[in-house]
């Protein structure tokens, strides 16, 4: 639900605008406000879950998500809807890091890989099927009030999830001590992420041109956050994010960088596809969503398989998946550019399926490998930081790639094929960056194993831990 709500709203924006009389700035905040507060909550929420119990925080956040979904669906005005979306994003961002942390806590070895496989399948499927799900809901509920059901559908699902969480999730799971909360660190990382994401999420409303100065401000704030966390760790106090995760935990830093680079291309293409097929080729929202469903199906299926294969192949599986994504997206760009408009929708299904299968071998295996050596006591903050990077990457992609699409259109008039092919081609190049990071980490781990005689950290049960976990 939380990831679906990032993309599902886009197909309902015209209906919302007509129903509430919303201007362009207001409609932008309906989409961007959710993404913004989602990203802001991740790191602090991960640390709070580590300290006070992931089950408790998960259920509290899930309850909030259901409540604010209902308020969004009942919104009588634009201001009400924006406020509900901001709090809905905050609840989603609080819930998200508890997911990966609970997997770290409850599973180990091959079981953990399979659990992350299901988690990755959920991430890939829910991110990719947003447009088609929104199209189906609008088709069933009608254009006039169907947009309300895009939010209200979360209520019954969320209530069922809440009952299951109460019955199935184990109690406890926190550090068991009322640890101090790093308020300075929370303020620094929150302000830094806000400064980086705000121009991106408001890009369509001129955010990049008006707020570009926030990028250097954000860089300074995030550097100050790292320095403060070093200081907290050196003094033996509880930091918001232990910097040892980046400096001493095998594969964490490179895995986080890989995830951010991948999400730039992965998240940015969906709005480009919607613009191209609907505005360029005249597809309905449902038809547009169905065309790209092959990516979602391929990703969901391969994620489950990837969860079983990651214990055997390690980083090699991620490298293979990224290669398939690059090939699939590059082929999709060529098809869009060269195929006749009447057959483009059918012609892109096969290359998007290839890219989707590859994508399923990226998200969940990378999550598994990135968090593999993270102590369970830090799993929430580590998962929150990993997903924060992915949210920033998604914000960059969803602003930059449609920006490229519109820029090409501005130069070449109504050349929708050229605009879409260019944007998807750039997405493929962005995934090449993630592929380069994956290859470097893969070769580095093999070199460490061969050169030092140490166990390969990509291999299962190597026992290659950097520091012990008291939990």
Q: 117-174: per-residue pLDDT in tens?
A: 788 778 767 766 777 788 788 888 876 778 899 899 999 999 999 999 999 998 865 5
Cα gap 338→283, rounded to integer Å? 19
Q: 41-50: per-residue pLDDT in tens?
A: 887 888 888 8
Cα gap 30→188, rounded to integer Å? 26
Query: Which among 291, 422, 420, 294 is positioned nearest to 358, based on CA atoms?
Result: 294
- State the average pLDDT over residues 278-290: 83
Contacts of 48 (CB under 8 A, 6+ apart): 57, 94, 181, 380
- The gap from C-alpha 195 to its chain's centroid, in whole angstroms, comes to 19
Contact between 419 and 449 under an 8 Å Cβ cutoff? The reply is no
The pLDDT of residue 262: 94
Contact between 428 and 233 under an 8 Å Cβ cutoff? The reply is no
Query: Which among 365, 335, 364 is positioned nearest to 428, based on CA atoms?
Result: 335
Tell me the backbone φ, ψ of residue 281, rounded to 5 degrees. Answer: -110, -5
Contact between 460 and 110 under an 8 Å Cβ cutoff? The reply is yes
Q: What is the pTM of this model?
A: 0.77
pLDDT at 275 over 70: yes
pLDDT at 453 over 60: no
CA distances from 81 to 137, 200, 401, 437 (A): 19, 21, 27, 40
* Structure token digits, residue 25: 């700035």
The pLDDT of residue 203: 67
Q: What percent of the chain has a predicted confidence (pLDDT) above 70?
A: 91
* Structure token digits, residue 447: 């070199």
Contact between 254 and 384 under an 8 Å Cβ cutoff? The reply is no
- The CATH number of 4-452 is which of 3.20.80.10, 3.40.50.300, 1.10.10.60, 1.20.1250.20? 1.20.1250.20
Contacts of 339 (CB under 8 A, 6+ apart): 347, 348
**Counting every residue, how long is the chain?**
471
| 24-52 and 183-201 helices, crossing angle to 10° | 150
- 335 confidence band (pLDDT: 50, 70, 90): very high
């Amino acid at each position: 639900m939380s990831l679906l709500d990032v993309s599902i709203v886009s197909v309902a924006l015209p209906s919302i605008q007509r129903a509430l009389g919303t201007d362009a700035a207001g409609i932008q905040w309906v989409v961007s406000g959710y993404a913004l507060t989602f990203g802001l909550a991740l790191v602090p929420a991960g640390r709070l879950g580590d300290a006070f119990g992931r089950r408790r925080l998960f259920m509290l956040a899930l309850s909030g998500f259901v409540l604010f979904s209902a308020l969004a669906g009942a919104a009588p005005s634009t201001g009400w809807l924006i406020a509900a979306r901001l709090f809905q994003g905050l609840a989603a961002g609080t819930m998200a890091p508890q997911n990966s942390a609970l997997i770290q806590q409850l599973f180990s070895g091959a079981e953990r890989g399979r659990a992350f496989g299901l988690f990755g399948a959920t991430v890939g499927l829910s991110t990719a099927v947003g447009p088609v799900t929104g199209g189906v809901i609008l088709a069933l509920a009608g254009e006039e009030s169907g947009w309300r059901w895009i939010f209200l559908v979360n209520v019954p699902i969320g209530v069922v999830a809440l009952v299951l969480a109460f019955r199935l999730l184990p109690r406890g799971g926190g550090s068991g001590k009322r640890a101090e909360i790093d308020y300075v660190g929370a303020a620094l990382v929150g302000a830094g992420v806000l400064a980086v994401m705000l121009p991106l999420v408001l890009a369509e409303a001129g955010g990049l041109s008006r707020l570009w100065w926030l990028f250097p401000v954000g860089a300074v704030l995030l550097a100050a956050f790292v320095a403060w966390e070093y200081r907290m760790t050196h003094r033996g106090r509880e930091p918001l994010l232990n910097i040892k995760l980046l400096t001493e935990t095998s594969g964490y830093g490179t895995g986080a960088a890989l995830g951010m680079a991948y999400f730039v291309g992965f998240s940015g293409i969906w709005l480009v596809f919607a613009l191209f097929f609907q505005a360029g080729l005249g597809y309905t929202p449902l038809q547009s969503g169905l065309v790209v469903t092959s990516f979602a199906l391929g990703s969901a299926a391969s994620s489950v398989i990837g969860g079983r294969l990651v214990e055997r192949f390690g980083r090699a599986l991620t490298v293979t998946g990224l290669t398939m994504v690059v090939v699939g997206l590059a082929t999709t760009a060529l098809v869009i550019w060269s195929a006749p408009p009447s057959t483009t929708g059918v012609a892109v299904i096969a290359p998007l399926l290839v890219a989707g299968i590859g994508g399923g071998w990226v998200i969940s295996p990378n999550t598994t490998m990135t968090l593999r050596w993270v102590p369970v006591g830090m799993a929430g903050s580590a998962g929150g930081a990993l997903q924060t990077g992915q949210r920033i990457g998604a914000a960059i992609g969803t602003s930059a790639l449609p920006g490229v699409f519109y820029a090409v259109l501005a130069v070449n008039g109504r050349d929708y094929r050229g605009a879409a092919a260019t944007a998807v081609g750039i997405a493929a190049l962005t995934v090449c960056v993630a592929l380069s990071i994956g290859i470097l980490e893969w070769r580095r781990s093999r070199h460490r194993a061969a050169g030092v005689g140490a166990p390969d950290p990509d291999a299962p049960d190597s026992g290659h831990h950097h520091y012990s976990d008291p939990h």
